[in-house]
Amino acid sequence: MRRKIVAGNWKMNKTLPESLELAENLKKELEGQCLCGVEVVVAPVFTNVYAVAEALKGTGVAVAVQNIHQMKSGAYTGEVSAPIAKSAGATKVILGHSERRQYFGETDALLAEKTDAALAEGLEVIFCIGEVLEERKAGKHFEVVEEQVKNALFHLPAEAWKNIVLAYEPVWAIGTGETATPEQAEEIHAHIRAVVAEKYGKEVDEEVSILYGGSCNPKNAKEIFAKPNVDGGLIGGASLKAADFKAVIDGFKC
C-alpha cells in the first residue's frame, strides 16, 4: 500500500543545539496528536543525526541523512557511508536531490550506485527527480523525470522497490516560493506511476509512494496532498520551524 509521508529536508541548516531545539519543538507539536497514518521524517546534517535520532526516539519520527557515499568504507576523505549513517540512527537517505546533482555533479549512474549502497544496508531511499525551468519551458519535463527514474532505478529488482520512495521536485520550485500547481504535480506523478507500472507491473507501482517537493508550505500542502497520486511531501524551508512543519503534516488531517 502506498504510504503517506512528510519528510523535512533540513539541508545545510541548524547547528547541533539548534537541531536539538527543532527536534524538541517538533516532539512537542506532535505529542498526543493523531497523525492520521502519516509517516514523519526529518533529515538533519550528518553531524547532528545521532543526537536528533536520540532526541526523537519513541516518537515514531524517522531520521534520514541527506546523502551517502557509494562505498562502504575506505580512503574517501570527508565522506559518509551507508553503514556509518545507519549506525548513527538514520533509517533513510535522500538521494538525487537537485542540489546534489547541480552543485556536486551527481549523475544518474552515480545515484544508481548510491541507491544500491543504501539498499544493501537496509536504508530506505527517498529518491528525488525533477526538471529545471528550461526543460519545463521546452515541454520536456515528462521525458526528463522518466529518464532520471529509468537511469538510476530500473536496474533494481522488483522487490527492492518496497524500500524506494520517489520525490518529484521541480527544480524551479525549490526554495523559490514558486510551487507547482496541484495539477502540475498530479500529472507528473501520474506519469511517473505509469512508467514504473510499465516496467514492474501494477503490484510494485501500487506500493510506491511519490512525494511532491518545492516550496510546499502550510498554505498549499492540503491542496497538493489531496491529489490522488501525491502521497506526501519533501519539505525544505517549511521544515525548519516545528509549527510550520506540523502545519504541513496537518495537510493530511483525517
Residues at the contact surface with ligand PGA, assessed by CB under 6 A:
9, 169, 174-175, 213-216, 234-238
CA gap 247, 240 in Å, rounded: 12
Cβ proximity to ligand PGA: between 204 and 234 the closer is 234
Q: Least distance in Å: CB of 223 to ligand PGA?
A: 15
Q: Least distance in Å: CB of 213 to ligand PGA?
A: 4
Q: Is 191 a catalytic residue?
A: no
Point out the catalytic residue in the list 99, 131, 146, 169.
Answer: 169
**Among 143, 227, 108, 124, residue whose Cα is nearest residue 179:** 227
Element (H, E) at 164: strand 164-168
CA gap 30, 232 in Å, rounded: 17
Q: Least distance in Å: CB of 150 to ligand PGA?
A: 22
Q: Least distance in Å: CB of 24 to ligand PGA?
A: 22
Q: Are 9 and 45 in contact (CB under 8 A)?
A: no
Q: Least distance in Å: CB of 61 to ligand PGA?
A: 17
Give residue number: closest CB to ligand PGA. Answer: 236
Q: Are 117 and 76 in contact (CB under 8 A)?
A: no
H runs (alpha helix) in 215-254: 221-225, 242-249
CA gap 151, 110 in Å, rounded: 10
Q: Please report, to the nearest 10 degrees, the dihedral formed by the alpha carbons of residues 230, 234, 237, 238 taken in order.
A: 60
Cβ proximity to ligand PGA: between 10 and 200 the closer is 10
Q: Is 97 a catalytic residue?
A: yes
Cβ proximity to ligand PGA: between 9 and 115 the closer is 9
Point out the catalytic residue in the list 39, 69, 97, 135.
Answer: 97
What is the C-alpha end-to-end distance of the chain, expressed in Å?
Answer: 18
Q: Are 76 and 69 in contact (CB under 8 A)?
A: yes
Cβ proximity to ligand PGA: between 89 and 236 the closer is 236
Residue 123: partners with Cβ closer than 8 Å, 6 or more residues away: 68, 82, 85, 86, 90, 91, 92, 93, 163
Cβ proximity to ligand PGA: between 81 and 217 the closer is 217
Which residues are known catalytic residues? 97, 169
